Amino acid sequence: MKRLIIVSNRVAPPQPGRAAPGGLVSGVLDALRNVGGIWFGWNGEVDDAAAPLGQASPQLHPLAGQGADITLATVPLSRQDYEDYYCGFANGVLWPSFHYRSDLARYDPCAYAGYLRVNRALARALRPLLRDGDVLWVHDYHLIPFAQACRELGVTNRIGFFLHIPFPAAQVVETIPPHRELLRMLRGYDLLGFQTERDRLACIDYLYQQREAQPLSPYLLAFGGRLVRTGVYPISVDVAQIQAMAQQSRHHLLDAAARASGRQAILSVDRLDYSKGLPERFRAYEHLLEQRPDYRRKVQFIQIAPPSRGDVATYRRIREQLDASAGRINGRFSELDWLPLRYLTKGYERSALMGLYRQARVGLVTPLRDGMNLVAKEYVAAQNPDDPGVLVLSQFAGAAVELEAALLVNPYDHAATAAALARALDMPLAQRRERHQHMLQVLQHNSQTQWCRHFLRDLAPVQLRQPLVIPA
């Protein structure tokens, strides 16, 4: 059996005694559990005294209790590497640009050089751990050059790449100054995987326009003298596990008064990020309260948004903006016995969160752009099928492709989002059940296990009926 080597920016395994992890981590573990292998990446620590990456060997820890031989191989980042690779280029340029926010990208050639340096150093650190026949699965935008860096070290193993975030239109990619050099490095991979067909098409369209790749068939590219396959693999959640957590959760995070009065909860849960559309969402809720006074006192909007990437300046600005608009909404509409908006900036234990999803009548998930959005899928999975809540979902989340039975909205249109909220709050039980059942079936069909299985199946070598001459 071939070993699987997972490479991701962060190695974040479940901690003993802590709640089960989210979709990406449990998906990765699911894949590793079947065949065993290594999960390699940054350990999340920034070490001011660390040696430059690539000179130190990774620290190896066995991951117990998984039923397979799984080793975690981690390295710390030096301060300079963290600032250049993680904050500077990955989250300062690639994240905003790939979410159509080129206006927020701050390109610095030194940070880009650091991004390449760290990718090469990570490849050097992993190299001695690799064996013939190992299959590598590399995750996300932090690691675009990783396969190419491995190839330069003589690695011939199969290497697949999965992009968790959207792939934007070619003109947006072109705003990234070194876009051509950067995306050419995708040729080191054997498989490029995307969340949706729109992302896959955007990527191959960009590569064709740049004359970097040529189509051999709808899913096969001749790319830099290599054969590179592309595919769509929507990430998903473990429905059975979420249902069990939501049912068993004894946490009643909604306050007793709200429950006793039958007040309906609208719930949003996000990492605090400008791509998630929080200011636009607050505006939509404000519009609802303004235009429909009959909803006042009858609803409560709960926004859970723990801060992320606090070392990147744009994230500090969005926090300030949200603090101000939450204050304005509560100042305008609060009554002595009613707080219209609860804005909580902390993380919750996963089982508590699943219980809360189940108690909320409306799940409001309105990113401006999102690769998939697992919260939307978790919300659906957590509902009571006999009395389910309604998902209001942005048409710009990857999840909208599968969850078409949600109420789909344009998050930039606050009046339409407010109207969808009203519709969700008033939706009769029969319609709620019908929509929920439809979405649940989709999640059961396109499961988290299928995500892994299909990606790894397609990473196997392509069997050609005839020998192929690949244009260089």
**Using CB under 6 A as the criterion, which residues of the chain lie in contact with ligand ADQ when the complex forms?**
22-24, 164-165, 235, 269-271, 304, 306, 347-348, 353, 370-375, 378
User: From the candidates 164, 199, 273, 458, which is the catalytic residue?
Assistant: 164
| Beta carbon of residue 242, minimum distance to ligand ADQ (angstroms, whole number) | 9
| Beta carbon of residue 254, minimum distance to ligand ADQ (angstroms, whole number) | 15
| Beta carbon of residue 450, minimum distance to ligand ADQ (angstroms, whole number) | 14
Q: Residue 99 or 151: which CB sits closer to ligand ADQ?
A: 99
User: b/e string for 325-349 if b means 16 or more Cβ within 10 A?
Assistant: bbeebeeebeeeebbbbbbeeeebe
Neighbour-count burial of 429, counting CB atoms closer than 10 A to its CB (0-12 exposed, 13-18 middle, 19+ buried): exposed
| Beta carbon of residue 48, minimum distance to ligand ADQ (angstroms, whole number) | 27
Q: Which of 251, 148, 162, 213 is nearest to 451 (CA)?
A: 162
CA angle 263, 264, 268 (to 5 degrees): 135
Q: Residue 37 or 371: which CB sits closer to ligand ADQ?
A: 371
From the CB of residue 41, how many other CB atoms can be counted at a distance below 10 Å?
25
| Beta carbon of residue 140, minimum distance to ligand ADQ (angstroms, whole number) | 8
252 as an active site residue: the answer is no
251 as an active site residue: the answer is no
Q: Residue 348 or 412: which CB sits closer to ligand ADQ?
A: 348
Neighbour-count burial of 51, counting CB atoms closer than 10 A to its CB (0-12 exposed, 13-18 middle, 19+ buried): exposed
Q: Residue 50 or 94: which CB sits closer to ligand ADQ?
A: 94
DSSP string, 344-358: E-S---HHHHHHHHH
Q: Residue 121 or 381: which CB sits closer to ligand ADQ?
A: 381
Q: Residue 261 or 345: which CB sits closer to ligand ADQ?
A: 345
Q: Are 169 and 38 in contact (CB under 8 A)?
A: no
Measured distance CA(199)–CA(456) in Å, rounded: 19
Helix (H) / strand (E) element for 156: namely none
| Beta carbon of residue 416, minimum distance to ligand ADQ (angstroms, whole number) | 22
Cα radius of gyration (the chain): 23
Sheet with 390-394, strands from edge to edge, namely 341-344, 299-304, 264-269, 362-365, 390-394, 407-409
User: From the candidates 81, 199, 370, 458, which is the catalytic residue?
Assistant: 370
The catalytic residues are: 164, 370
